[in-house]
Every structure is written in C-alpha cells, then in structure tokens.
Amino acid sequence: MRNPLAVAVALVFAAWSGAGAVEAAGTSADQGPPLWAWGFTSPDDGVRAAPPAPTPATATPPANPRQHKIPGSKFSFTQAQVSNRYAPADWFPEDHPVMPEIVAKGRESANPQIYACGLCHMPNGKGRPENANVTGLTYEYFMQQLKDFKNGKRTTSDKRKTNTDLMTGFAKAMTDAEMEIAARYFTSIPSTPWVKVIESATAPKTLARGGVFLTLTGPEAGTEPLGQRIIETPISAEDFEVLRHPRSGFIAYVPIGSVKKGETLVRTGGGKTTACTVCHGVDLKGLGPVPTLAGRSPSYLARQLYDMQHGNRTGAWSPLMAPVLSSLNNDDFLLISAYLASLEP
C-alpha cells in the first residue's frame, strides 16, 4: 500500500467483505431492478454511500495533507482537492477543451447547490458507472435530458440511488444559459474507449460501495461465480476512489456467450423487438439526436432500459422506446448491455 489513505480503503474493504457475501442478482422482470446495474448485491444492502466528501469552507485542513500524484500529470492534489465538489481535480487539462465555469466549479450559490459537472462526469465527460458517460452525445439530446431531469421525468427505479436526485436538483437549479454552456462543452468531446468487456464464468470478488463494485485487493482478493450478472469494476479501486483518475477505465465481466446473444437482439430484434439499429444507427453510435449506445457503461445502459420500461424515465422522447421494451426482460437487458458495451465507441 502506497499511502495511509489506501490502507484505510483496504481496511474498509476487509471489514465489509466479511459481512457481505454476494448472491446472484435479480434476473427476471418480476424480480425488480437488476441489482448489478445499480451496484448493489442485495435488496437490503446498506444505504448507498454518501456522495464524495464535502469540503466545507470551515473545515480545518490537516497540517500536512498528503499530496497525491498521477504519473504524467504535472499536478498534485490533496484528498480534499481531488473530491472538492466545487473544483474537483483536473489532472490532465490537455485531454479536454477549456472547461466553462459550470463544468469546472458548478454554482455553490444556487439553490439547491450545483456541484461541478466534472466531479461526477469527470472533466473529460467519460463519467463513471454510477452516473453517465456524457461524451459522444448530440446537443439536442443533451439539452432534452437536462429538461427531462428538471421536469422530474428522469428518476431511478432503485431509490437507494440518491445521486439521481442530486442530478435532478442540479437541472432544476441551472439557468438555461448554464444548460446550453454545459451541453456545448460535453457534446464537443468525442467518445473514446472507457470500458473493456471480458466474457467469464467468474468475476473478481468486489465490495459494493457508492453504486460501484470495487475489486478487493490483498488478502480479500479472489474470484467468485459471476452468475447472471455483469460486474463492472474500476481497473484500479485506488485510481477510482482516491484519485478520480481520468485515464483509468473499467472492466466489465459478462457471462460467457452474452455478447453474441446480445448482438442478435440488438441487430435483428431476435423476434422479440425492433432492431435497435433502426433508430440508434447501423454502428449504434447514434443517429441524428438519438443517442449513441456503443461502448458505454453496461450498468448505465441496463438502468436506462429498466427505468424506461418501468415508467421511471418518461422524458419527451422516451415514448419512442416504449414499444421496443415491452417484451424484453432483465436477462435481455443484460445481453443487450454486454454487447453494446463491447463495441468501439
């Protein structure tokens, strides 16, 4: 372990892993939201971890806070700076256009307060499984989603996922100009690979925390049967949790054979539904304002499919998806998400 914080993280891992054996998650439509897509292992999992540590102006910083570094970045940040809600670390400014104020800092004076978009979606927009990759989208689509959040049309099927409520609050508090500026910024960034899909009968043992599965290290490390789940996990838990590393992506372990089966569903409808390519484009990278699906987080994709099917995402454009989803179930959502995530974005 390189530093005290990493040791603390490892201790928390150890404490949790003893208590939380992982069972197979819900697998069919009548079993509720697929737990894996929400980053839970059971319907009674503890409450979702609180969002990133707050940095109240009044807090007294430790005398000598540790400076974190990432190879290749000329910056160093303390933990408080890395996860500052109103100015999160930007390790590689050269990787993205100049961030406008709302993306880099949010607006603390708003009511409710608006965190920097870059805190959750990252300065480069690639996002994390528990929120959304906001690159590769069109301006029209992006704006429509902010309006849908604002109008309470985008919620989430597992109410333990409290960051969706935060997102709603930001959209309600944003001015039209802020929405336009944020939309212009993120939609100017093309999608690049961020998740690697691996078909496997097993997955690494993980700790479910904050809506994400973190791979256990040290004596707790090991593998377990994957079952009918997708386990999407950061390549490095420390890069993810401690550093918010913007170049360290994710691995998604998916059941053996799921990519091929998903391909059939997506490209032909598999006799159950409409081919997704009709609206999302032959390459599944979006068509007109219809969003891209290629290479995106499988957990995010599955949540959206389930949310739209269950009336928890009912935006202005969502009715187009309703007939597509009517005869699909959680197993189909898994196959579809495995295939879509495996595509080059």
Give me the residues that bind ligand HEC (CB under 6 A), please: 51, 102, 114-115, 117, 119-121, 131-132, 134, 137, 142, 144-146, 156, 163-164, 166-167, 170, 174, 182, 266, 273-274, 276, 278-280, 290-291, 293, 300-301, 303-305, 313, 315, 317-318, 320-321, 324, 336
Q: How far is the CB of 305 from ligand HEC (least distance, A)?
A: 5
In terms of CB distance, is 81 or 163 closer to ligand HEC?
163
Q: How far is the CB of 13 from ligand HEC (least distance, A)?
A: 23
In terms of CB distance, is 40 or 115 closer to ligand HEC?
115
CA–CA separation, 322 and 106 (whole Å): 34
In terms of CB distance, is 244 or 280 closer to ligand HEC?
280
Write b or e for each residue in 135-170: b if 16 or more Cβ atoms lie within 10 A of its Cβ, otherwise e: bbbbeebbbbbbbbbbeebbbbbbebbebbebbbbb
CA–CA separation, 110 and 119 (whole Å): 17
Q: How far is the CB of 52 from ligand HEC (least distance, A)?
A: 8
Q: How far is the CB of 318 from ligand HEC (least distance, A)?
A: 4
In terms of CB distance, is 115 or 213 closer to ligand HEC?
115
In terms of CB distance, is 203 or 335 closer to ligand HEC?
335
Residue with tokens 């800092």: 105
Q: How far is the CB of 7 from ligand HEC (least distance, A)?
A: 27
- For residue 112, cis peptide bond before it (omega within 30 degrees of 0): yes
CA–CA separation, 128 and 235 (whole Å): 12
Contact status, residue 4 vs residue 95, Cβ threshold 8 Å = no
Give Dmax over CA atoms of the chain in angstroms: 64
Please measure the distance between the N-terminal and C-terminal CA atoms of the chain and give it in whole angstroms: 34
In terms of CB distance, is 226 or 336 closer to ligand HEC?
336
For 98, the token pair is: 């100049």
Q: How far is the CB of 5 from ligand HEC (least distance, A)?
A: 21
